[in-house]
Protein backbone atom coordinates (compact mmCIF):
# COMPACT_ATOMS: atom_id res chain seq x y z
CA UNK A 1 0.00 0.00 0.00
CA UNK A 2 1.29 3.43 -0.90
CA UNK A 3 0.88 6.26 1.58
CA UNK A 4 2.76 8.71 -0.61
CA UNK A 5 1.07 12.01 -1.26
CA UNK A 6 -0.27 15.05 0.50
CA UNK A 7 -2.64 14.52 3.41
CA UNK A 8 -4.98 17.04 5.05
CA UNK A 9 -5.11 16.22 8.77
CA UNK A 10 -7.49 17.33 11.50
CA UNK A 11 -6.31 16.83 15.08
CA UNK A 12 -8.92 17.17 17.84
CA UNK A 13 -7.00 18.50 20.85
CA UNK A 14 -8.16 19.74 24.27
CA UNK A 15 -7.55 23.31 23.00
CA UNK A 16 -9.57 22.80 19.81
CA UNK A 17 -9.19 21.36 16.33
CA UNK A 18 -5.83 21.86 14.66
CA UNK A 19 -5.44 21.43 10.92
CA UNK A 20 -2.17 20.40 9.33
CA UNK A 21 -0.86 19.14 6.01
CA UNK A 22 1.53 16.19 5.85
CA UNK A 23 3.54 15.35 2.74
CA UNK A 24 4.90 11.81 2.46
CA UNK A 25 7.39 10.72 -0.23
CA UNK A 26 9.32 7.57 -1.05
CA UNK A 27 12.98 8.50 -1.31
CA UNK A 28 15.25 5.62 -2.34
CA UNK A 29 12.92 3.08 -0.72
CA UNK A 30 12.48 4.99 2.55
CA UNK A 31 9.54 7.13 3.57
CA UNK A 32 10.31 10.79 4.21
CA UNK A 33 7.95 13.56 5.15
CA UNK A 34 7.26 17.04 6.33
CA UNK A 35 4.32 18.56 8.21
CA UNK A 36 2.99 22.06 7.60
CA UNK A 37 0.81 23.82 10.14
CA UNK A 38 0.56 26.73 12.57
CA UNK A 39 3.02 28.70 10.48
CA UNK A 40 5.85 26.17 10.64
CA UNK A 41 7.23 23.32 8.55
CA UNK A 42 8.70 20.40 10.50
CA UNK A 43 10.36 17.20 9.30
CA UNK A 44 8.84 13.85 10.22
CA UNK A 45 11.03 11.27 11.94
CA UNK A 46 10.87 7.52 12.55
CA UNK A 47 8.31 7.04 9.77
CA UNK A 48 7.17 3.41 9.70
CA UNK A 49 4.55 1.71 7.55
CA UNK A 50 3.56 -1.78 8.73
CA UNK A 51 0.66 -3.05 6.65
CA UNK A 52 -1.98 -0.31 6.98
CA UNK A 53 -0.49 1.13 10.20
CA UNK A 54 1.55 4.31 9.76
CA UNK A 55 3.53 5.87 12.60
CA UNK A 56 5.80 8.90 12.81
CA UNK A 57 7.20 11.46 15.23
CA UNK A 58 7.54 15.20 14.92
CA UNK A 59 8.47 18.15 17.12
CA UNK A 60 6.44 21.36 16.99
CA UNK A 61 6.91 24.76 18.58
CA UNK A 62 3.49 26.31 17.88
CA UNK A 63 1.11 26.75 19.59
CA UNK A 64 3.40 25.23 22.25
CA UNK A 65 6.61 23.19 22.15
CA UNK A 66 5.66 19.50 21.99
CA UNK A 67 7.07 16.21 20.75
CA UNK A 68 4.26 14.36 19.01
CA UNK A 69 3.92 10.66 18.18
CA UNK A 70 1.34 9.77 15.54
CA UNK A 71 -0.21 6.30 15.14
CA UNK A 72 -2.77 6.05 12.35
CA UNK A 73 -4.43 3.42 10.19
CA UNK A 74 -4.58 4.14 6.46
CA UNK A 75 -7.59 2.97 4.45
CA UNK A 76 -7.19 4.01 0.82
CA UNK A 77 -7.38 7.81 0.76
CA UNK A 78 -8.38 8.25 4.41
CA UNK A 79 -6.64 7.75 7.71
CA UNK A 80 -7.57 7.82 11.37
CA UNK A 81 -5.82 7.29 14.64
CA UNK A 82 -4.18 9.25 17.42
CA UNK A 83 -1.49 11.75 18.22
CA UNK A 84 0.19 11.63 21.61
CA UNK A 85 2.19 14.43 23.22
CA UNK A 86 4.14 13.19 26.22
CA UNK A 87 1.91 12.69 29.25
CA UNK A 88 -1.02 14.54 27.72
CA UNK A 89 -4.09 12.53 26.66
CA UNK A 90 -4.15 11.21 23.10
CA UNK A 91 -5.82 13.39 20.48
CA UNK A 92 -7.97 11.96 17.69
CA UNK A 93 -6.52 12.34 14.18
CA UNK A 94 -8.41 12.05 10.91
CA UNK A 95 -7.16 12.76 7.42
CA UNK A 96 -7.79 12.63 3.71
CA UNK A 97 -5.30 12.32 0.88
CA UNK A 98 -5.43 15.23 -1.54
CA UNK A 99 -6.22 14.07 -5.03
CA UNK A 100 -3.93 15.23 -7.81
CA UNK A 101 -5.34 17.79 -10.24
CA UNK A 102 -6.53 16.15 -13.46
CA UNK A 103 -4.16 18.16 -15.60
CA UNK A 104 -1.06 20.07 -14.68
CA UNK A 105 0.52 22.68 -16.93
Domain assignment of residue 103, yes or no = no
Domain assignment of residue 104, yes or no = no
Domain assignment of residue 77, yes or no = yes
In tens, the pLDDT along 50-74 reads 999 999 999 999 878 999 999 999 9
Q: What is the pLDDT of residue 105?
A: 44
Residue 77's domain spans which residues? 5-97
pTM: 0.91
- Burial of residue 104 (CB within 10 Å: 0-12, 13-18, 19+) is exposed
Domain assignment of residue 66, yes or no = yes
Amino acid sequence: MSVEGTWNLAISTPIGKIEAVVELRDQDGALTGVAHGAGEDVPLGDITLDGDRLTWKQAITKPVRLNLAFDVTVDGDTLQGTSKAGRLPSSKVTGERRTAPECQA
